[in-house]
Amino acid sequence: MTPGGTARDGEIEAFVVDRYLESLLSRGPRDEAEVPADLRATAARLTHGLPRYHPSFRFEEDLAARLAAAASARAGRLIEFPVGTVRGLVSGDERAGTVRPVVIRGVLTSAALSLAGAAYVAWRRGRPPANAMTRAVRAVVRARTV
Amino acid sequence: MDAARADPARFDPLYRKYVAQVYNYAVYELGDHHEAEDATERTFLSALAGLPRFQERATPDDGEGASTFRIWLFRIARNVVAERRRRWRRRPEAPLDVATDAPAPGDLEGAVVARESAASALRAVERLPGDRRRAVMLRFVHEMSTSEIAEILGRSEGAVRVLIHRGLRGLARELGEESPGTSRKGRA
């Protein structure tokens, strides 16, 4: 609510701000003059400043395997699941134009792709598979790419 | 979506598309990466189990590829997180840390300033009360529309507008954003 204003004023301003924020989502800001400058500045700071946390590759792949196992149990057959790829680093960031901090399980990166992440993928790819399911999947992938 | 509902084996693309978003939501809510991983796992296992009950409410008028799956998934995540928060009530919550071991190639000074700005914004958001914090986070981190947030929080769109507006007002005061006719607060 605007200080000193009525509840109705607050609702109107909330509506105007909402319309402005919706236009930000569509990457076409409009009606800027109607929105107080401090709210515009705060909205911009939040849009670009709040970090996105991303799970580690290990967690993402392990959970994918558990879900595949659960799904296969439901379907009553063995299901192959795709080997994780680097695309996972920026999943959920489909909208172009916004650059914001990305944190992979506590490690802040200055870009969407971190050196630590790339090194981890290289290490995972070069490491012998830890379980039979992973070995089977990699065998399928190798057979397809030959 | 329909493929996954008909065959659980097709769930993987949905998982890959939304795992980061759900994990991100859980980290903001729980402030702990281990707890967030656990909440993410429970969310997706519940979603997989409940997939046959999911009802698509998007219509062709909503655009090609439109789906209410994300809303449904986030509602599950919200319930899972709420359950974990109840268990956590007696435990102190550690603030999220955005400034750990960040590589800062190139503009070191700019990176430090940006990091500090992000950290102060994050701390301010964390101090917002319950649904106000959730609404702001869903809006600015997940870039959800008012209607999506309303569905997830179980509130009316008008209530969500007010939540976000009040949240934004509070954050503007706390972060000392400049407004015509007001002086900038002294936050170095």
**Range of lowest pLDDT (B9-23, B83-97, B105-119, B152-166):** B83-97
Tell me, what CATH number does B10's domain have?
Answer: 1.10.1740.10
Chain B contact set for A75 (CB, 8 A): 7-9
Domain ranges of chain A: 7-49, 52-145
Interface test with A, best of B112, B125, B169 (most A CBs within 10 A): B169
CA A118 to CA A109: how far, in whole Å? Answer: 12
Local confidence band at A109 (pLDDT 50, 70, 90 cut-offs) = low
Task: Note down the domain range covering B133.
Answer: 107-178
Does residue B59 contact residue B68 with C-beta atoms inside 8 Å?
A: no
Read off the pLDDT of residues B87-97 as tens digits, 9 standing for 90 and up: 766 554 555 66
Q: Tell me which of A84-98, A102-116, B83-97, B157-171 is least confident.
A: A84-98
Is B161 close to A15, i.e. CB distance below 8 A? yes
Q: pTM for the full model?
A: 0.70
Judge whether B7 and A75 are in contact, CB under 8 Å. yes
Provide mean pLDDT across the span B37-46: 95
Q: Is residue B188 in a domain? A: no
Q: What are phi and psi of A103, to 5 degrees?
A: -115, 120
Residue with tokens 């992000």: B118
Contact A64 B177 (CB under 8 A): no
Identity of the residue in A42, A53, A64 whose CB atom sits nearest the CB atom of B12 = A64
| Contact assignment for B168 to A11 by CB distance below 8 Å | no
Distance of CA A92 to the CA centre of its chain: 4
DSSP state of B85: H
User: Residues B83, B5: one domain?
Assistant: yes
Note whether residue B143 is domain-resident.
yes
- Mapped onto helix, strand or coil, the DSSP state of residue A102 is strand
Would B13 be classed as within a structural domain? yes
Mutate which of B7, B14, B19 to test chain A, going by most A C-beta atoms within 10 A?
B19
Residue B184: inside a domain, yes or no?
no
Please say if the pLDDT value at position B126 is more than 70: yes
Would you give the distance in Å from CA B16 to the centre of its chain? 17
DSSP A82: P
Q: Write the single-letter amino acid at B162.
A: V
Pair B48, B15 in one domain = yes
For chain B, the domain total comes to 2
d(CA B144, CA A111): 23
d(CA A108, CA A60): 18
What pLDDT is attached to residue A70?
86
Q: Flag the least confident range among A130-134, B83-87, B154-158.
A: A130-134
Is residue B96 one of the residues assigned to a domain? no
- CATH code of residue B148: 1.10.10.10
Token pair belonging to B51: 């997939």
* Nearest residue to A80 via CA among A72, A92, A88: A72
